[in-house]
Amino acid sequence: MKKLLTVLLASLLCVGAAIGLTGCKAKSDYDKIKEKGYFVCGITLFNPMNYFNDEDELVGFDTEFANAVAEQLGLKAKFQIISWSAKYLELNSGAIDCIWNGFTYGNESDGVSRTEYVDFSYKYLLNGQCVVTSTANLSVLNSAAAFAGKKGMAEGGSAGEELAQSLSSVYTATTSQANALLELKSGTVDFIVIDATMANALVGQGDYNTLSINPAIETEIEEYAIGFRKGSDFTAKVNEAITTLSANGKLAEIAAEYDLSSALIENIGAK
């Protein structure tokens, strides 16, 4: 009996070793990306990070940032609009290669750190969550307590979800931050929580001139970073490129173009 067990264990070990070896031979994530010649960034359309300008070109800080990194690596960047709540599924299934869309380094709304799901790049941009209401409502919704029972909304799986839920128990998740703005404008919700970068770029002007950033709620400062598959060697490659772009001023140039100079983190990755 003992002998049989030994034989069994030994053969199991052999099989395990064989799998391990083939595992070593398997191509790394970055090898696969190099082979393709491009990497796919999972995005939602969201001003000023990734959006279509009047000429119908995909522009934005993150768009140009990704293109610059791609150039550094001798690759191409492709952009795929995804459903934000499916971002980890998209990433792990290989349908996208990174989450690069004003992705906050922090927690999911359930309090689980996003580092459980992805490997982050260096942080590159400061951001905060921002409560937006209609301008007419500013005087009513003037304290955190006043939000109780009001209809709140944020993008499902976004950094703002936690705040929205803590302000009011009447909460609905939507598919994108842009959608949340639309809902607020049409009056179907009373307040939304979105990224400060986006709110600064859109609220109080153009289509959204009836809306205001609500100063009653103060939020903590957060940072944006790029999310990669856990254990991917692509992260280090992108980090190298970011360090270069930060040092040579290219990143500052892009930030200036999108009015984000004050939010940009300087000397990224410098020792």
Partner 1 sequence: MSFELINSKLLVGFGTTCLLFLLTLVLSLPLGLLIMFGLKCPFKPIKWLCNVFVWAIRGTPLMLQLFVVFYVPSMLFGLRIFSFTSTTVFDGRFIAALITFVINYACYFSVIFRGGVDNISRGQFEAGKVLGMTKSQIFFKVILLQVIKTVIPPVSNEVITLVKDTSLARVISVAEIFFINETEILTKAIVWPLFYIGVFFLLFVGLLTVLFNYIEKKLSYFKA
Q: In the set 45, 126, 146, 252, which binds partner 1 (CB under 8 A)?
A: 45
Give the burial class of 149: count Cβ atoms within 10 A of its Cβ; 0-12 exposed, 13-18 middle, 19 or more buried: exposed
Q: Burial code of 171-189, b = ≥16 C-beta within 10 A, e = fewer? A: bebbbbbbbbbbbbbeeeb
Among 50-58, 144-152, 155-163, 262-270, the segment contacting partner 1 (CB under 8 A)? 50-58
Among 48-56, 144-152, 156-164, 262-270, the segment contacting partner 1 (CB under 8 A)? 48-56
Does 208 bind partner 1 (CB under 8 A)? Our answer is yes
Does 93 bind partner 1 (CB under 8 A)? Our answer is yes
Q: In the set 4, 5, 22, 54, which binds partner 1 (CB under 8 A)?
A: 54
Please name which of 196, 30, 245, 234 lies closest in space to residue 120, comparing C-alpha atoms: 234
Does 209 bind partner 1 (CB under 8 A)? Our answer is no
Backbone angles phi, psi at 173, to 5 degrees: -95, 145
Convert residues 128-167 into a mask of x (bound to partner 1 by CB under 8 A) and - (unbound).
----------------------------------------
CA distances from 55 to 51, 58, 59, 90 (A): 11, 9, 10, 29
Place of tokens 């082979």: 35
Does 207 bind partner 1 (CB under 8 A)? Our answer is yes
Q: In the set 40, 99, 118, 125, which binds partner 1 (CB under 8 A)?
A: 40
Contact 99, 107 (CB under 8 A): no
Taking the C-alpha atoms of residue 181 and residue 158, their distance in angstroms, rounded to an integer, is: 14
State the nearest-atom distance from the C-beta of 58 to partner 1, in Å.
10
Does 92 bind partner 1 (CB under 8 A)? Our answer is yes
Give the binding site for partner 1 (CB under 8 A): 38, 40, 44-45, 52, 54, 56, 78, 80-83, 89-90, 92-95, 175-176, 178-179, 181-182, 185-186, 207-208
